[in-house]
Amino acid sequence: MSPLAIFHRLAHATYSSLLLSMSQVRSFEASTTWEDIVTRTSLWWEQARGLVVVPVFKFLVALCLIMSVMLFVEMMYMGLVVAFIKLFKRKPEKVYKWVAMDEDDDVECGGESFPMVLVQIPMYNEKEVCEQSIAAACKISWPSSRIIIQVLDDSTDPASKELVKKECERWSKEGVNITFEIRDNRKGYKAGALREGMKHSYVKQCDYVAIFDADFQPEPDFLFRTVPFLIHNPKLALVQGRWEFVNAGQCMMTRLQEMSLSYHFMVEQQVGSSTFAFFGFNGTAGVWRISALNESGGWNDQTTVEDMDLAVRATLRGWKLLYLDDLKVKSELPCSFNALRSQQHRWTCGPANLFRKMAGQIIRSENVSLWKKLYMLYSFFFMRKLVAHILSFCFYCVILPATVLFPEVTVPKWAAFYLPSLITLLIALGRLRSIHLLAFWVLFENAMSLLRTKALVMGLFETGRVQEWVVTEKLGDGLKTKLIAQEPKEEHHVRFRDRVHLLELLVGVYLLFCGCYDIIYGKRTLFLYLLLQSSGFFVVGFGFVGKYVAAASY
């Protein structure tokens, strides 16, 4: 048989099968009504609901209940540790050796008995705050011959760079040992700038390095309160101070941030320091022993949390870290919502990515006890950096609202109300003066949990914007901040699409639907929470929170 004949036969067979299929479709359409399709779809959904959907939701609820209990136990443990510290007055001076230093007693020696200290101030287009931060560093009380102020300027804005340079020259003329350092690229962002700063020849004569971000203003006695710990305790690598916020009362958003960060410093940092001598370095307001920094591998830009990375590596080398809760350093909270979003993305994505990269090293470390490993992996990373964010969004914003659509799935009252209420009250103890804002804090934190969960996934799976670094915009001291924030011109330059955050709006619609469904068909009062939380997502989704100023990308 010729190829042409074979082709004709195949074409005929294909045409015949096509006609047969079309006749079968017409027969099905003729014999099936719309009501039959709806009935069959309804039966299919009921089977899928009973066999798959409901069991999956019950499993997720059980998983969230377990995580809720784990988180509550973790927070109760931390609360008991803080209560023990306060009750028995376990100040760091009672745990570590500390001997006061007096500059006047060393006048005859010209300050030679004092260790050499390097003060680093990394900057990037910080013209709003550069003057106050450099001034605060230059006013630190320490023998002038034993301190070097190093300003690391990565600015791309010529006006900012020139302003910083002139400020350094002004203080240099007043007798301050200050250097102005720049580099020809911004590789590694802040970690890269700090790493390059440590390469200068004059750093070799320094014993310790204090680090202050551009918006931080240390008190003059900062070194006198921190360095003695390092001098008399050779296993201490870091002494970290507490952040105090000059613009906490500027707007509702800054008040809510202050509540969260007060708990972080008052409880989380203090517990880590007091029990296992490990906590995440906050990247500023701290003094490092340079030998410990170098032995731990120096600054590394493998993640966007170079400060936490260094703290982990130093701990794995056998070094200890100390946090001083009563040593407060003035700083500034982001008052722009977009700036806060960028900051929270980095603060969530970075630790998750670091956990991915360092978990194996923590497990294999021979310089760390089993209990400290457990604390680092379970309490520090797993519970606080992963579970807390996942639970806030998945349970309270997705699964709990979905229970109104599936009456077969129930959440006990203790998990839906009592436990989260107790957790919220524990957090509020860190800032009692704002306890009347608890309801707003819950709604805002839940709305922000979507952003954090998304960032967490990026960090764990190392995808998307995992290495994104956006510098948090700063507006200067409290008075200056208020004056700038009241400028009406800024509001008109904010485009509507820059305000809108689609994912938050979609979750808001979902919560609104669940709330309305509960009102119409449900037999509970969950709609009260659902409607309030949906309004929180809408406020965040449309960006009606905080002030509006342009944030710069690092």
What number of CA atoms fall less than 13 Å from residue 35's CA on the CB side? Answer: 0
Catalytic residue among 153, 215, 307, 518: 307
The Cα 344–Cα 436 span in angstroms is 24
The Cα 472–Cα 554 span in angstroms is 9
The Cα 519–Cα 382 span in angstroms is 37
Whether residue 477 lies in the annotated active site: no
Would you give the DSSP letter of residue 552? P
Catalytic residue among 154, 215, 301, 518: 154
Q: Which residues of 421-448 are buried (b: 16+ CB within 10 A; e: fewer)?
A: eebbebbbebbeebeebbebbbbbbbbb
H helix intervals, 88-181: 92-95, 130-138, 158-173
Q: Under a CB-based contact definition with an 8 Å cutoff, are residues 386 and 355 in contact?
A: yes
The Cα 528–Cα 532 span in angstroms is 6
3-state secondary structure of 152: strand
The Cα 247–Cα 333 span in angstroms is 6
Q: Edge to edge, what strands does the sheet with 320-331 contain? A: 178-181, 147-153, 117-123, 208-211, 286-289, 236-245, 320-331
Burial class (CB in 10 A: 0-12, 13-18, 19+), 367: exposed
Would you give the DSSP letter of residue 433? G
The distance of Cα 55 from the centroid of its chain, to the nearest Å, equals 34
Amino acid at 51: L
The Cα 69–Cα 65 span in angstroms is 6
Q: Under a CB-based contact definition with an 8 Å cutoff, are residues 329 and 222 in contact?
A: yes
Nearest to 288 by CA among 182, 214, 193, 203: 203
3-state secondary structure of 120: strand
Residues present in the chain in total: 554
Burial class (CB in 10 A: 0-12, 13-18, 19+), 28: exposed
The Cα 328–Cα 216 span in angstroms is 10
Whether residue 325 lies in the annotated active site: no
Residue 228's alpha-carbon distances to 222, 286, 287, in angstroms, are: 11, 13, 11
Calculated CA dihedral for residues 8, 11, 16, 18, nearest 10 degrees? -170
Terminal C-alpha separation, the chain? 74
Residues whose CB is less than 8 angstroms from the CB of residue 126 and which lie 6 or more positions away in sequence, other chains included: 133, 155, 160, 164, 214, 215, 474
Residues marked as catalytic: 154, 307
